[in-house]
Amino acid sequence: MIALNNVFNILKMAMVLAFSIGVLPALCQKKVTVVGTVTDSSGVPLANVSIAVQGTGSGSQTDNNGRFVIDAPAGSTLIFSAVSYTDYQYKIGTEELPMLI
């Protein structure tokens, strides 16, 4: 019975360690809120531009004034796309704003 208890304790420790190594870093990843306005080269706000966080299912869209708010993990990439425009990728924290799209 004692040997079996030791095996269960070792298994519990292994599961805790696996959880700590694999899951906790993902849960602890810092999220940032990105707020901005998308305009064309003339400064006219662009409505209905899709903004997606690459590799996730999350995204947002600009309002009628071109404004958007999106939460994303720090260091992730945002993909801006709109009809008649080339997609633009922005890695959070790598460019100063405003950025020209």
Type of residue at 82: A
Supply the Cα-derived Rg of the chain in whole angstroms.
21
Mean pLDDT within 70-98: 83
Q: What is the pLDDT of residues 61-76, one digit of tens each?
A: 999 998 999 999 988 9
pLDDT of residue 51: 92
Interatomic CA distance for residues 101 and 90, integer angstroms: 9
Mean pLDDT within 36-46: 87
Q: Where are the domains of the chain?
A: 30-91
pLDDT band for position 97 (cuts 50, 70, 90) = low
C-beta atoms surrounding 62 within 10 Å: 22
Using CB atoms within 10 A of its CB, is residue 81 exposed (0-12), middle (13-18) or buried (19+)?
middle
- What global pTM score does this model have? 0.66
pLDDT band for position 84 (cuts 50, 70, 90) = confident
